[in-house]
Amino acid sequence: MPAYQKLKELVASYLTPDQCTFIHKAYKHAKIAHDGVTRASGEPYITHPIAVAEILANMQLDHESIAAALLHDVIEDTPITQNEIKDHFNSTVADLVQGMTKLAKVDFRNKEQAQAENIRKMLIAMSKDFRIMLIKLADRVHNMRTLQSLRPEKRYRIAQETIDIFTPIAERLGLHTLKTELEDLAFHAQHPVRYNVLRAAITRARGNRKDFLQQMCNEISEKLKTAGIESKVLGREKHLYSLYKKMQRKGYNFHDVMDIYAFRVIVNDLDTCYRVLGQIHHLYKPKVDLFKDYIALPKPNSYQSIHSTLVTHHGVNIEIQIRTIAMDNVAKHGIAAHWSYKEGEKNVNVTAKLQTRNWFQGLADSTDNATNSLVLLENLKQELGNNEVHVLTPQGEIIVLPAQATPVDFAYALHTDIGHRCKGAKVDGEFSMLTSKLESGQTVQILLSQRTKPNAEWLNFVATHRARNAIRHYLKQQPREVAIPAGRRLLKQALNTTSITEISQENIDRVVKDQNLNSIDDLLNDIGNGKIMSIVIARLLRGNTRELTESDMRQANRQSAIKGTENMMISYAKCCRPLPGDEIVAHVTPNKGIVVHIRNCYAVSNLKTEPDKYISVEWDDYFFSQYEYTTILNIVMDHHKMELMKLLTEIAKSNANIVEIQTTEQTDAIYLVNIKLNVLNRIHLSRVMRKLKNIPHVKSIKRNSPKGFIERRKSTEKQRKIKEQK
């Protein structure tokens, strides 16, 4: 076949004759196995494995990978078994092919669970041998190239799966070439009209840009040549999907996006990269806030390059990437660059392999919500997100975490024992919730306590597989008598109700059966041990199958910080809005459960005369810095330009979240500002108030305290009496 002839020539350019013979033998087996079978397009089926093998051959992968690519569908689609492949070839090729085989014979409840379990199988297999994922990605690329033969709804579903799962995996493995092609193919499948309009616009603009790109390349090359630097300068264009996402994300029009020109400078060695940077910054004016050194701080996928954005003499923004030849190879082919075959030896970067293997092994951990496909896919999508944050330890060490990472993820990234004993955190010197999302550049200090232990609720917000696995490993060791009450408390909290019995027995029995368990106690035990997320079970008990939202997660993360109230519904009185650190007292009401007040709140003024109506309660130090509480500040200030903006800026700097703001003009020069905000505790609020008092035009600032309410009540009563007298 012409397609196979092209593959033969390609592998012969870098493999030995014996290895080419090995591949030819695999081709003959695959051709016989798929004889008479056609694809949806009407082409012979053998054209598909040949195309997959060609994609891998372009990466110069070894002969076993190419052979496995040719055979990758025979176990799934033909009577041939893994043992037969092992007998005809070797155990490595047999394992690679088996790793590509879907769980077709397993009876799944729905397509989503089947997808999740197949992805889990693939991840477990690839954690043993990365080449399985390389073959899978090549397989996906060719399937996406030939997607037009399928029904529109199936095209859309496959394209969405590609964007959600396979392009992030390609990014994580550093396979930039495959990633960009997959993104563009998925974009075309989902939005063909938008794709064609954008492609036509780029084609029209390309003629005008070509001369400018060449002029800039010549200018940069001349500057480097004058400095005695040998280099290769290339002008490049962003691919369609990245342009489309940038237009969507930033609200840009096409001309705004195309105003940015990109160039790549490739040199021979690392030291020269920094010499080039100096010359380029001398030639053009750099934008300091748009500079990234991925050579000093490589990405987790081993990507290394210096990125800088500059303004040219023409007033045009340009992006420059500076890297060595080896770095450029890794940037294009990622982990495949470490598996490429050259002159009889494998060029394997051991560090890159180990880091990637450990990452995928943790991601594919069989304890990771094995009974719930929705959670597996959500965790996978979250973990494979493209964004990262770089945060610092107090000693200045840089820790790289995925976007949405929290202080708990940071603690476990340092050490498992630090994560287990994490009581709270300070971010840039300020107390921060354990659920708060970290941002690049922040310095994080973990507060430890010997009393602290991992909480199953942490699983609702941690973002890294390392944290999830460590928490689950700890929780699995809990005895049943500890896990069941913990699971009951977490489920009640997720249901936002006082009793599980409010859910119909029919729903409970259905969920227990769907989870392959025998009783409600087994379900509660699995929740308490961290095997199942309480928020997921709460949704299933209510008969709700929609996807988790941020609001759901925030609700699930709410928890009482009052000692001894684990099995009770807690509410905090709005009249005094108690904060951790306040002296408190509580009473029971039919609809709100236990209501907590500050001890000297006017609403509990009969505490001394009728003590039997009240319950003595106290804050639990374990939750002292984990959750937000709402309070109100009354601020009197001068009516001065920009002063309110300073007020809000200081609150934001103090790590407090503004919920609501009201302003009332007292006189022409004075006005009252009432701010409702969320803080961690009384100490946090005091720190906020101290900073606000330092603003020059702030006259006074008070917490909307019980005393204020008592004074307001007296004032109201006085006005009522005057009214009655009249």
Write out the catalytic residue numbers: 76-77
164 DSSP assignment: I
Cα 350 from Cα 634, distance rounded (Å): 61
E strands, 279-349, are 285-293, 306-311, 317-324, 341-342, 345-346
Cα 135 from Cα 482, distance rounded (Å): 46
Q: How would you label 453-492 residue by residue, b for 16+ Cβ within 10 Å and e otherwise?
A: ebbbbbbbbbbbbbbbbbbbebbeebeeeebbebbbbbbb
- SS percent in the chain: helix, strand, coil, step 5: 50, 15, 30
Integer CA distances (angstroms), 90 to 61, 64, 96, 336, 623, in order: 17, 9, 10, 22, 57
Cα 262 from Cα 270, distance rounded (Å): 21
Q: Report whether 131 contacts 100 (CB < 8 A).
A: no
HEC readout, 73-121? CHHHHCCCCHHHHHHHCCHHHHHHHHHCCCCCCCCCCCHHHHHHHHHHH
Q: What is the DSSP track for 634-696? A: EEEEE--TTHHHHHHHHHHHTT-EEEEEEEEE-SSSEEEEEEEEEESSHHHHHHHHHHHHTST
Q: Report whether 221 contacts 233 (CB < 8 A).
A: yes
Pair of tokens at residue 146: 């030939």
